[in-house]
Amino acid sequence: MQQKMRGIVVHTTKIGDRKKIVEVFTDKVGCVSFVVRIASGKSGGRNNIFYQPLSILEFVTDIKPRETLHYMKEVRMPAPFLSIPFDVYKSSIVMFLSEFLHFALHGEYEDKPLFEFLVTSIEWLDEMKSSVANFHLAFLMQISRFLGLYPNLSGYRSGYIFDLVNGCFSPQTPMHTYYLKTDEARWIYYLMQMRYTNMYHYKLSREQRMRCLTILNEYYRLHIPNFPELKSLDILKDLFD
C-alpha cells in the first residue's frame, strides 16, 4: 500500500550511468534503500540536489517487506538547504555526519524521536550564522542518547578513569585497554554536556577537537557492530582552528 513518508538521505551509491541506490532513514519504517533514476538536463540537476547527503525529503512509496530495494515518487524537498551546499565548513561536517549515520543507523527500524532529533540537527546546522566548529561534537555526543549509548555520567568523581567499553567512570583501571586516563576522563565528562545551545562556550584547539573526535569514533566502534574508523575524519583535521 502506498504511503507518504519523510526521510533523510544518508548514503548514495551510483549503479551504472542512469541509476543510484539511495539509503534513506524514514520516519515510518527506519532505514530503507531506494532505486533512483538519474535524469539528464535541468531535471537531472534537481535530482542531484534532492539526493545530496542529509537532504530532508517527502515522498510517496510502497514498502514491500520481502524486497530490499524500493521506489519513491512525488519526491519533494519541502525546505531546501539555505547554506550547507555553499559553506565549505558546513558541507564538510555534513559529509562526516552522513558517513557516521550510514554505519550507526544500519538496521535501525522506526524511531520517531531519533528521526526528529536528526531533522532538528540538520535544520540547526543549516540556519547557523556563527561558528560551527563544535557542531559535530555536540551531535555525536547527543545522538548517543537516541542510540542507547549515552554514557553514565552520574558516577564521575575527580581522579576516576572512563571505561569506554562499559560507558562509565571508575576508580579502578579495567582489565582491557579501552579507557581514558584521569585527565581525559575529566575532559570528556564536561564535553558530554555540550549542546547546540551552549557549544559556543567550549573553546577548543584543533588538537583537542580532533582528540575528542578520535575518542568518540573509538567509543562507537566498541558499541556498534562493524562500525569502522570513519574516513571523513581526515577531512575535519585541518578544517577548524
Question: Given strand 168-170, what is the order of strands in its sheet?
Answer: 168-170, 161-163, 179-180
Model pTM score: 0.92
Tell whether the model's pLDDT for residue 16 goes beyond 70.
Answer: yes
Tell whether the model's pLDDT for residue 95 goes beyond 70.
Answer: yes
Give dist(CA 56, CA 126) in Å, integer. 12
Q: What domains appear along the chain, each with residue ranges and CATH number?
A: 1-80 (2.40.50.140), 82-151+192-241 (no CATH)
Give dist(CA 63, CA 54) in Å, integer. 21
Tell whether the model's pLDDT for residue 224 goes beyond 90.
Answer: yes
Which residue matches cell numbers 555520567?
A: 153
Tell whether the model's pLDDT for residue 194 goes beyond 80.
Answer: yes
